[in-house]
Amino acid sequence: MSASDHHQQPHPSFEILGGGLQRFFPSLTHLTRPYNPFPFITWNRHVETIFASFFRSTPDVTLRRQCLRTKDGGSVSLDWVSGDDRRLLPHAPLLILLPGLTGGSGDSYVRHMLVRARSKGWRVVVFNSRGCGDSPVTTPQFYSASFLGDMHEVVSHVSDRYPNANLYGVGWSLGANILVRYLGQESHNCPLSGAVSLCNPFNLVVSDEDFRKGFNKIYDKALSSALCKIFKKHALLFEDIGGEYNIPMVANAKSVREFDDGLTLSFGFKSVDDYYFNSSSSDSIKHVQTPLLCIQAENDPIAPSRGIPREDIKENPNCLLVVTSKGGHLGWVAGDEAPLGAPWTDPLVIDFLQYLETEAAKAPQTCSNSGDNKETLQSVV
C-alpha cells in the first residue's frame, strides 16, 4: 500500500462502517468519489426502482443450463456461460450468483454482473432456485427463506466440479438474505472465499412491516402474483398433501405475507411471524467468518435501512457496509453507465472480489472447498 492510500477517505455521500473497514477500504477506490444519482429518474425511490426493473438493458449472453437434482428429489437450475469450459482454466475464480425473489438468470442486474465478472476472467454460474428462472418444482418443498439445503448442495457440487478454484458468492435481495444466512451457518467452515450482499432485507419482520404500507403494496401485489403463478404451475404436486399446507390460500394469495402464511407450517414454524423472525439474516452477521461486503440504499423501499444490523457489522472484522443515499431497490441508477447500463454497484463489487482473489492467490488454501455439512434449508426474497 502506498503512502497516499493511507490518506484516502470515504466520500461523505456514503455511510461506510464495519470491522473490516481498514482491511477492505483501500481496494475500493470508487468510494473516494461522490455518489452521483442520475437526474430526474432518481428523485423518487419508487421511480428509480421501477425504471431499473423495466428499462435497464439486459446483456445478451448464451447460457448452458444444468439441472441439479437435490437429495430430497428436488431440482434447481444452474446456468453457466456457454463456452467457458474451453475458454477458462480449471482454477479460474468461480462466482455463484443468487437472484432475488422469483428472479433468475434472465434478470438484467444478474446479467450485468455476469458479463462484468466474465470480462475479468471469472467463471460465473447463476443459481436459479426451485421454480424460479423456469427451474422445475419436482417436490412439495417450495421456495423459502428458511431453507438453505439447496445452497449447501449447489456449493458442494460446484466445488467438486472445480476443486482448484476459489469460490465466491453474490446475492441480491432475498438471495442476499439466503447467502448471508449460509455464511453465518457455515462460519469457520465456509467453503466460500468471499461474498457480496446487495439490497438485503436482513430483518424480514421489519421488511414485512414496511411491505404493507403505502406504495409498497404495489410491489407486494406484483411479487405475490409471481409467486402464485409459480405455485399454480406446479399445484398438482401439492394436491392431497393435507395438513400443513393451506393450498387455497397459497394459490390465491394477494400478498407475500398471505402466500408465506399458507406455507409457513410446512416449514416447521408456528406462524408467519415466527418464520420471518427465524429466517432473517440479521442475526447471522455475528457468525460470519468470510470476507463480506454489504451494499444497501438508504431509501430502499423493500429492504429498510433500519433493519441493517449495523452494530454487528461494526463488531465483525470480516464485514464492511456501504450505504448509498439513493438507489431504491435493485436500482442504483448512477455512475458511468447510467441510466440504461449496469448498476453503479457492479464495479465496486468486482473490485472487492478481485482484491480477495489477489489476496487468496498470495496465501495457500488452509481448508478445502468441502460441502460435507449439508443441512436442509431454503430460500425466500
Q: What is the DSSP string of 322-338?
A: EEES--TTTT--BSTTT
Q: Which of 300, 312, 346, 379 is catalytic?
A: 300
Give CA 100 to chain center in angstroms.
6
- Confidence category of residue 3, pLDDT binned at 50, 70, 90: very low
Q: Which of 108, 173, 255, 279 is catalytic?
A: 173
CA-CA distance, 374 to 351, in Å (whole number)?
31
Predicted TM-score (pTM) of the model is 0.91
CA-CA distance, 253 to 220, in Å (whole number)?
10
Cell 458511468 locates to 336
Largest Cα–Cα separation, the chain: 69
Closest CA to 305 of 17, 35, 12, 61: 17
Closest CA to 145 of 81, 102, 187, 86: 102
CA-CA distance, 200 to 174, in Å (whole number)?
6
The total of other beta-carbon atoms located within 10 Å of residue 170's CB is 29
CA-CA distance, 269 to 30, in Å (whole number)?
43
Element holding 355 (H helix, E strand): helix 345-362
Rounded mean pLDDT, 173-201? 98
As given in the structure block, the three cell numbers for residue 70 are 437435490
Q: Is 173 a catalytic residue?
A: yes
Rounded mean pLDDT, 316-328? 98
Q: What is the dihedral angle through the alpha carbons of 298, 300, 306, 308, rounded to the nearest 10 degrees?
A: -90
CA-CA distance, 260 to 273, in Å (whole number)?
10
Q: Is 225 a catalytic residue?
A: no
* pLDDT (0 to 100) of residue 368: 42
Q: What is the DSSP string of 8-63?
A: ----TTEEEE-TTHHHHGGG-GGGGS---BPTTGGGSHHHHHHHHHHHS------E
Distances (CA, A) of 365 to 21, 92, 191, 262, 369: 24, 15, 11, 45, 9
* pLDDT (0 to 100) of residue 377: 30
| pLDDT over 50 (residue 149) | yes
> pLDDT tens for residues 310-321?
999 999 999 999
Give the sign of the dihedral formed by CA 29, CA 35, CA 41, CA 44. Answer: positive
Percent of the chain with pLDDT over 90: 75
Provide CB contacts within 8 A for 86, sequence distance 6+. none
As given in the structure block, the three cell numbers for residue 243 are 395438513
| pLDDT over 50 (residue 1) | no
As given in the structure block, the three cell numbers for residue 240 are 392431497
Higher pLDDT, 242 or 32: 32
Higher pLDDT, 248 or 289: 289
* pLDDT (0 to 100) of residue 265: 65
* pLDDT (0 to 100) of residue 185: 98
* pLDDT (0 to 100) of residue 372: 40
- Confidence category of residue 166, pLDDT binned at 50, 70, 90: very high
As given in the structure block, the three cell numbers for residue 238 are 401439492
Note if the bond before 136 is cis, omega within 30 degrees: no
> pLDDT tens for residues 344-357?
999 999 999 999 99
Q: How many helices (H) and strands (E) does the chain have?
A: 13, 9
Helix (H, G, I), strand (E, B) or coil at 104: coil
Closest CA to 221 of 255, 250, 260, 261: 255
Rounded mean pLDDT, 287-305? 98
Higher pLDDT, 364 or 5: 364
* pLDDT (0 to 100) of residue 54: 97
- Confidence category of residue 381, pLDDT binned at 50, 70, 90: very low
Q: Which of 193, 197, 329, 379 is catalytic?
A: 329
Q: Is 300 a catalytic residue?
A: yes
* pLDDT (0 to 100) of residue 134: 81
pLDDT averaged over every residue in the chain: 90
